[in-house]
A and B are shown apart, each in its own frame.
Chain A
Amino acid sequence: MTSHFRSIAEAGTERIHRLLDLTDHMAAVGRRPNPKVPALRGKTVCNLFFEDSTRTRMSFDLAAKRLSADTMTLAVSSSSVNKGESLRDTIETLDAMGVDAFVVRHRTSGVPWQVAQWSPAAVINAGDGWHAHPTQALLDAYTIRQRRGMTNDFTGLKVAIVGDIRHSRVARSTTEILLMLGAEVTHVAPRTLLPPTSQLPTTANLDEVIAEVDVLYMLRMQRERMGAGIVPDGGEYSRRFALDERRASALRNDALLMHPGPINRGVEMMVDPTELSQSTILDQVTNGIAARMAVLFDLLGSGEIEE
């Protein structure tokens, strides 16, 4: 049976620990003068991006290239896919070209599972709907481990994830990996931006938790949610949930400030995070390549990274 990387839960604890260690190794490869290794020479990785995502697509592309895999990319907004061709037709056509792994991004939850039904290739979830973004979760967990000099045991780590949890695949996957590693996660959002049900501690009062957290994870807030009957328009969201000067000063010095990017300045972020020592935002981007190399190598490699 082909192995995939589609969600944190599906990967399981043992594999997540292995991937975190492998990410650490790949990060070291990335710091070399020549960061390219021949590990996936002759393998073909197809990036299937049915939703705009320059950053994740480029990160996957670079990760595959650093492992010497051949890459091809289909970047289409799903609405522009020929109406006569089903998703299944698209997958079967590409599969016939000889693909070892599909990297799939789609605006709808579940598409990576459907792709795996129609192709024997390995499937990596690069973000499906509001559901999962497991490589983001992996890079987030690795970034915490790296910045705090920790092992893979996050017991006692207090994390607050703030913003549009309901519509966020990042929130779902990153929450899942943090709980798996032993952290305590609180979701901070108005009720309208929380999932319909939740087993986690939740609060709508950011100020209540901000001074206590080890990690403050700010989510991107899409402007179109405001004024659409989900949250009020006119700055109320920012007043309640954005990181402003006052809240930034409440953040502990040894805490981490995380964000999956791209930042919506003036919405969830009223300060310049690059001026805050707690910010990990650029580390997350750098580690994203290592995490994706780890996932690709774990699925397609033969055990040896070097020649």
Chain B
Amino acid sequence: MNNEAVLLTGALAIDESGERRLDVRVRDGVITEVGDALVVGDEDHLDISGCLLAPGFVDLHTHLREPGMPEAETIETGSRAAALGGYTAVVAMPNTDPTQDCVEVVEFVAKRGREVGLCDVRPSGSITVGRAGQQLTPIADLAAVGVHLFTDDGSGVQDEGLMRRALEYAGELGVVLAQHCEVASLTAGAVMHEGECCSHLGLPGWPALAEELMVHRDIELSRLTGSPVHLLHLSTARSVELVRAAKAEGLLVTAEATPHHISLNDERLSSFDTRYKVNPPLRTLADIEAVKAGLIDGTIDAIATDHAPHPSAAKDRPLDEAPPGMLGLETALGVARAHLDCSWQHLIGAMSWRPAKIAGLSDSQGRPIAVGEPANLVVIDPDVEWQVDPIALASRSSNTPFIGVDLKAKVRHTMFQGRVVVRDGKATA
């Protein structure tokens, strides 16, 4: 049981309903009192004047690497990184070893997440067995143990017929299928975005079309089946346009974008630094502008990290051998704030209540700051400028290109189920 009592005073509280100055008292994991001048008692008192108080962030796209790759990350180190980034819930991607394609593996991940207790670890399930794109996983059995988001992330479901049936099957279960949009036949051997820079560097290209074709296909399959589809890590201008048009028609399409796809372009690969190798690849400046516009106008619902830890032994290899991916959890807020010109409420919405709804977590995450609500909260220093200290990263890996980069806004405290799991920017456990 959580019997910790905490009083948060002086902050500007921001939730889906708006913003107002508010003191908040928390006991046993629940908000017990709110007001504009609560009396300080004998509880843990955090003076957070000048800060923002918001519902904790929800990451739709985290690779925790456990089971299978403890040298990259574990549920414990990834949960700690999440808490430091202000996240109170993460959806764990299924490309573990073994794959999260059966009840035993997803229950292991969920149980380990509860034991660690630093954030809500919600395993996703794969759409196909072993993410091999051949055979459906037991989607109903997985849904029955709490899996809400299904994806073969790391690769897209290539077979249109199979994807159609998966959507039909999943639709009546109330779960959501999420697609890694990549037509594999167009990206064989690809290392970076196909364009001018890749032509110059002589690296095999990943054309924007490979994403857009599958975005288009899945929008049409969603129309056909009436089932929702969530599009992972959109990276191109045309993808954003396709989603915008689909939403205008009222189709059940949601989408996310990563902090790195709104901040870094393909020319970063000119350094041949493997930290810039991600999938989908870093795109052009025009794509960055379009993805940002999509996030600002709500075409793209959520900012998701695609936190993808890799040990240096894996990244210190030639570009074609180095695995794609970069860290994201601990830098997401700072990168997003530095690159997105929108209100705090809109930005926090893209990191909290909107992804909570997509992940099926809106009963416990992204909640209003009000009496009776679960105390999953983040306290943000809105104006602090900071740089990543590579030594201080909680993640077991350090593959982030944001070291030495000026970031804006930082997580000061994170509260998960009423417990302060991050205090003054440091994990408490």
Contact = CB atoms under 8 A, between A and B. Distances in A.
A60 interface: no
Contacts of B200: 172, 195
B3 interface: no
A109 B313 CA distance: 19
A129 B321 CA distance: 13
A113 B202 contact: no
A130 interface: yes
Contacts of A108: 318-321
Contact of A196 (B191, B198, B316): B198
Contacts of A106: 318
A86 B317 contact: yes
A197 interface: yes
A129 B189 CA distance: 13
B134 interface: no
Q: Is the interface of B mostly helix, strand, loop or mixed?
A: loop
Nearest to B205: A196
A3 interface: no
B17 interface: no
Contacts of B314: 86
B397 to A, nearest CB: 14
B199 A78 contact: no
Given A109-B272, A196-B194, A197-B195, A87 B201 contact: no
Contact of A195 (B191, B199, B271, B313): B199
Contact of A109 (B203, B207, B316, B317): B203
Interface string A108-136: 11110110001000000000111110000
A114 B272 contact: yes
B272 A197 contact: no
Contact of A131 (B202, B271, B313): B202
A198 interface: yes
Contacts of A107: 318, 320
Contacts of B320: 107-108, 129
Contacts of B207: 196
Contacts of B205: 196
Contacts of B317: 86-88
A109 B202 contact: yes
Contacts of A118: 316
B202 A129 contact: yes
A28 to B, nearest CB: 34
A4 interface: no
Contacts of A128: 202
B196 interface: yes
A169 interface: yes
Nearest to A198: B199
Interface in A77-114: 78, 86-89, 106-111, 113-114
Nearest to A88: B316
B196 A132 contact: no
A215 B200 CA distance: 23
Given A114-B272, A197-B196, A131 B316 contact: no
Nearest to A110: B272
A119 to B, nearest CB: 13
A198 B313 CA distance: 36
A10 to B, nearest CB: 10
Contacts of A111: 272, 318
Interface residues of A, number: 26
Interface string A193-213: 001111000000000000000
B203 A130 contact: yes
B194 A132 contact: no
A114 B318 contact: yes
Contacts of A131: 201-203
Contacts of B271: 113
A206 B320 CA distance: 33
A83 B320 CA distance: 15
Contacts of A197: 195-196, 199
A196 B201 contact: no
Interface string B315-351: 0111111000000000000000000000000000000
B197 to A, nearest CB: 9
Nearest to A117: B273
Contacts of B312: 86, 88
A109 B270 CA distance: 10
A254 B273 CA distance: 45
A109 B199 contact: no
Contacts of B195: 196-197
Nearest to A112: B272
Contacts of A109: 191, 201-203, 272, 319
A2 B317 CA distance: 22
A89 B191 CA distance: 23
A86 B202 contact: no
A256 B320 CA distance: 37
Nearest to B320: A108
A92 B155 CA distance: 35
A78 B319 CA distance: 13
B276 to A, nearest CB: 11
B282 to A, nearest CB: 15
Contacts of B199: 195-198
Contacts of A198: 199
Nearest to A167: B202
A231 to B, nearest CB: 17
B272 A132 contact: no
B56 to A, nearest CB: 37
A107 B199 CA distance: 16
Q: Tell me which of B201, B202, B312, B318 has the highest count of chain A C-beta atoms within 10 A of its own C-beta.
A: B202
A48 to B, nearest CB: 12
Nearest to B274: A114
Interface string B171-208: 00000000000000000000100111011111101010
Interface in B203-252: 203, 205, 207
Interface in B291-323: 312-314, 316-321
Contacts of B194: 196
Given A107-B318, A198-B199, 6 more contacts: A88-B317, A114-B316, A129-B202, A129-B203, A130-B202, A195-B202
Interface of A: 78, 86-89, 106-111, 113-114, 118, 128-132, 167, 169, 172, 195-198
The list of the 3 closest CB pairs from A to B, nearest first, reads A110-B272, A130-B202, A131-B202
Interface of B: 191, 194-196, 198-203, 205, 207, 271-272, 274, 312-314, 316-321
13 contacts: A78-B318, A88-B317, A108-B321, A109-B202, A110-B203, A114-B274, A129-B203, A130-B202, A172-B200, A195-B198, A195-B200, A196-B194, A197-B195
